[in-house]
Structure 1
Amino acid sequence: MATSPKLTINSGIPLHDPTEYRRIVGSFQYLAFTRPDISFVVNCLSQYMHSPTDLHWQAAKRLLRYLKGTTTHGIFLKRNNPLSLHAYSDADWAGDSTDYVSTNGYIAYLGHTPVSWSSKKQNGVTRSSMEAEYRSVANTSSELRWICSLLQELGITLPTIPTIYCDNIDAIYLCANRSGVLRVVHVTTKDQLADALTKSLSKIPFTSFLNKIGVTPSPSILRGCIENHSQ
């Protein structure tokens, strides 16, 4: 998604017939179930379903071009994956210039594999970045507890306590009184993998984000590239 100008409800000219926009964005919502790299832009485009404009439509077509160029990308499920559960939690405080509501983002991993992710606006306006980050951690912890419950039903015992990584120290201090079922620890903003789930990034940071979160070309495509290069 383009980093500027930011889309708002008033951006551009209303579409005469929004049917195609709504149909395509609806398809994006299903695709985001397996592509965490598009979660933020799909969340953003979904906010204008009731009254899309030409600029919203341009952003949707930009996403279509991106998907056209990354048809081989996906999540690679490894055979020998460690049983450790952790998640990255982030928030973009007052990122929407229209209503100043913050955006939550998290991505949860079972070992090296992303298994759950979300990008969505919070329910109300927060008064500080600490409050926004704390709400995001609370939302992430709820998801991790659900995953733990599911694993327990499957008879799988985690060897370590699930961990949430947050880049806001003040929010981490507020989480210090948890009962021990989860850990909340600090991670630098540079290593915050949920960053691209809360805001649009320029090309280089976004490409780096893709590799880190685990959305990569299929192994068969990579092998073909290596073989062609060696020849």
Structure 2
Amino acid sequence: MLVYVDDFIITGNSPQHTDRFIESLSTRFSLKDLDDISYFLGIEVHRTKEGLHLTQYKYISDLLQRTNMTDCKPIATPMCPNTPLTLFSGTPLDDLTEFRMVVGSLQYLSLTRPDISFSVNKMSQFMHRPTHDHWQAVKRILRYRAGTMRRGIFLAAANRPILHAFTDADWGGNKDDYISTRAYIVYLGAHPVVWSSKKQTGVSQSSTEAEYRSLANTTSEVCWTLSLLQELGISLPTTPVIYCDNIGATYLAANPVFHSHMKHLALDNHFVRQFVQNGQLRVSHVNSADQLADALTKPLPRPLFRVLCDKIGLSDGRPS
């Protein structure tokens, strides 16, 4: 049972047990049973025999209407890769209300759209001092969403319980403070179930350091997901794998020798290594061209962005 304030999602393997549970709740509380899920907290659920398609069509439609962008011209990518934004790009806005409202709404829209995670996180960094350039970048995200309103996550009914993740970092990508952006996508079978794009807490002195910090964050998320699956009684047939495209970080996770030049990463180093040495986790190298988390660390050109969106698992409906 998933509970959010007064909204519930109740599910189970046995319809009889589910019905009895609902009847038991109704004896103590006033309930309204809406039958099969179709809409929950702004997320639309389209059910077919093949699985569930999760979108936020109505939510983005309402947001476009509130911002007077219903008839805007769609665009293929949420951010321009050739025009880096900094804290002092453009002149400050006189009224900050609309900027903050729209960025807050976009944060909620990223629940079903990992492809806008980086762009929304980037805009969130300008909340305290938004400029006209930042506002134009936010409107570009809205234009991108206007052209991909029906895109979402498809959860197939036939799916293998195999847990794996992709982790990546854009070393020194932020031009204001040169702090790296780390990202990960966690998959259960073919389905992305958890993703994140955030700035790291400090400046990394090498790409290996930035990647390893991201690997440690991803390890924590994979362990939490694994714990949740165990509580739900779901056993995994194979050891979870984290794919990293940095050879140095991959070797560091497997090498039992602690390198002296990585002492400042001691906590992250031992945190990841304990799971690797105990056989609870594997860290494998993946080619940069196949690194799916790359789309969550920086703005990409249109061809590469489209390819990664397809590989990530975004769908305009049930995949053929």
TM-score (norm 2): 0.68
> Equivalents in 2 of 1:144, 1:181: separation in Å?
11
**Pairing partner for 2:301 from 202, 212, 217:** 202
> Equivalents in 1 of 2:231, 2:190: separation in Å?
22
**Pairing partner for 1:130 from 189, 193, 208:** 208
**Pairing partner for 2:159 from 50, 59, 81:** 81
Aligned partner of 1:100 in structure 2 is 178
Q: Deviations over 1:35-76 (max 9, x none)?
A: 101000000000000110000000000000110100110000
| Displacement over 3 Å in runs of 4+ | none
Aligned partner of 2:287 in structure 1 is 188
Q: Describe the SS at the equivalent of 1:194.
A: helix
Q: CA deviation at 1:160?
A: 0.4
Q: Describe the SS at the equivalent of 1:141.
A: helix
Q: Describe the SS at the equivalent of 2:142.
A: helix
Aligned partner of 1:91 in structure 2 is 169
> Equivalents in 2 of 1:151, 1:216: separation in Å?
25
Q: Describe the SS at the equivalent of 1:77.
A: strand
Q: Which segments of 5 or more consecutive residues in structure 2 lack a partner in the other structure?
A: 1-78, 255-272
**Pairing partner for 2:147 from 29, 54, 69:** 69
> Equivalents in 1 of 2:140, 2:175: separation in Å?
22
Q: CA deviation at 1:218?
A: 1.2
> Equivalents in 2 of 1:128, 1:143: separation in Å?
23
Q: CA deviation at 1:33?
A: 1.3
AA aligned opposite 2:140? R
Q: CA deviation at 1:19?
A: 0.5
Q: CA RMSD in A?
A: 1.0
Q: Deviations over 1:100-156 (max 9, x none)?
A: 100000001000000000000000011100000000000000000000000010111
Aligned partner of 1:226 in structure 2 is none
Q: CA deviation at 1:98?
A: 1.1
Q: Describe the SS at the equivalent of 1:161.
A: coil
Could you tell me the percent identity over the aligned residues?
59
> Equivalents in 2 of 1:98, 1:30: separation in Å?
26
> Residue 170 in 1 paired to residue 248 in 2?
yes
**Pairing partner for 1:147 from 225, 244, 247:** 225
AA aligned opposite 1:153? E
> Equivalents in 1 of 2:204, 2:136: separation in Å?
31
Q: Describe the SS at the equivalent of 2:156.
A: coil
> Equivalents in 1 of 2:99, 2:176: separation in Å?
22
Q: Size of the alignment, in residue pairs?
A: 221
Q: Describe the SS at the equivalent of 1:75.
A: strand
**Pairing partner for 2:194 from 116, 120, 138:** 116
AA aligned opposite 1:128? S
Q: Which segments of 5 or more consecutive residues in structure 1 lack a partner in the other structure?
A: 224-231
AA aligned opposite 1:210? C
> Equivalents in 1 of 2:317, 2:145: separation in Å?
15
Q: Deviations over 1:80-115 (max 9, x none)?
A: 001100000000000011101000000010000000
Aligned partner of 1:212 in structure 2 is 311
Aligned partner of 2:39 in structure 1 is none
> Equivalents in 2 of 1:41, 1:214: separation in Å?
18
